[in-house]
Amino acid sequence: MALRTRIFSAILARITTPVEEAGDFKTLRAERRRLQATAVGRRVFGHTDKGALTEEIVLGTGQRALVHRPHGAIGPLPCVVNFHGGGWVQGNPEQSVWLASRIAVRNRVAVVSPAYRLAPEDVFPAAVDDCWGSLTWVVEHAAELGIDPQRIAVMGDSAGGNLAAVVALLARDAGGPELRGQVLIYPGTEMYDRWPSEDRNADAPVLTSRNMRTFVRLYLGEQHGTEDFRASPIRAASHVDLPKAFILTAELDPLLDNGTRYRDALVAAGVPVRYAEYDGAIHGFLSLPGVVPVASRALDDIVGFLREVL
């Protein structure tokens, strides 16, 4: 683990309230937004690429979204629909601006980062419904947005990686929209099973085993125990005919095995998969480029994958 990552992790442990001890989630989310907006927050979370134009729109779901495009781009552009992380309980599109805006510039694409309803106020499957609705709305309004509806990929990190995987399954089952690829960044793919990486990294920075279990209980609410694939995409009856995937995991992440097990499920179903594990990386590292140096290499890898599929 890089020195700056160690320092950040130590400070984070001192100043943040674990989700299992939180009571007022609205206040917790507001504090996160304020931190992101500070000079220190911008240094940690990164800032929008200078070559990107960013605007906020409202989707048909009623949720807002940030749309990143390269300066001077003439459409229609390929599009990446990107779902933020945060354990289905917190998070926002702004936390992805470093990654999303750089992909927009380097791949010459539009990146749409929608918000979605969060637990515990809105439990499963509210987030799934919003993310599916965001994807279909973007495709239906392609001309208005200046995008090519035949060149679409989905992307997400952590809980957003879960939602991206679920949306890819829903698109396959619905017969469209046809997706060119799915980028799953340290995704949560299984709600209940405990795998070795969770024990190995039970008290890791950013995400602990206790955090994981609390997020799942808050997200599923009274449906805790469901085997619905929309909660655990690894439990889908079939993974055949899904779009080509790029799965990224972090060495020091309790969710690492969620990524490797999903990789294995896709490979077994004949889905082309690219896989990368980043040494010394912690959960959430692609939202923390200022303190996790390997984020830049992971960005390069995502850009390369999207260049191939879009």
Residue 13: predicted pLDDT:
77
Question: What pLDDT sits at residue 7?
Answer: 83
What is the mean pLDDT of the segment spanning 5-13?
83
Q: Which of 96, 101, 134, 158 is catalytic?
A: 158
- Domain residues of the chain, as ranges? 3-309
The pLDDT assigned to 10 comes to 81
Spatial contact of 159 and 288, defined as CB atoms under 8 Å apart? no
Alpha carbon 128 to chain centroid distance? 13
Give the ranges where the chain is alpha helix by DSSP (H).
Answer: 3-15, 25-37, 39-45, 97-107, 126-140, 142-145, 159-174, 196-200, 209-220, 256-268, 295-309
**pLDDT (0 to 100) of residue 75:** 82
pTM to 2 decimals? 0.97
User: Does residue 58 sit in helix, strand or coil?
Assistant: strand
158 classed as catalytic: yes
Catalytic residue among 130, 157, 253, 257: 253
Task: Scan for tokens 């046809």, then name that residue.
Answer: 178
The reply to whether 283 belongs to the active site is yes
User: How high is the pLDDT of residue 2?
Assistant: 86
Confidence band, pLDDT 50/70/90 cuts, at residue 9: confident
Q: Is the dihedral of CA 20, 21, 25, 28 positive or negative?
A: negative
Q: Among this protein's residues, is 197 annotated catalytic?
A: no
What confidence tens digit (pLDDT) does each residue in 100-159 have? 999 999 999 999 999 999 999 999 999 999 999 999 999 999 999 999 999 999 999 999
Q: Report the pLDDT averaged over residues 148-175.
A: 98
Spatial separation of the C-alpha atoms in residues 183 and 44, rounded to whole Å: 23
CATH number of 3-309: 3.40.50.1820
> Is 90 exceeded by the pLDDT of residue 8?
no
| Cα atoms found within 13 Å of the Cα of residue 177, Cβ hemisphere only | 26
From the candidates 49, 113, 283, 287, which is the catalytic residue? 283
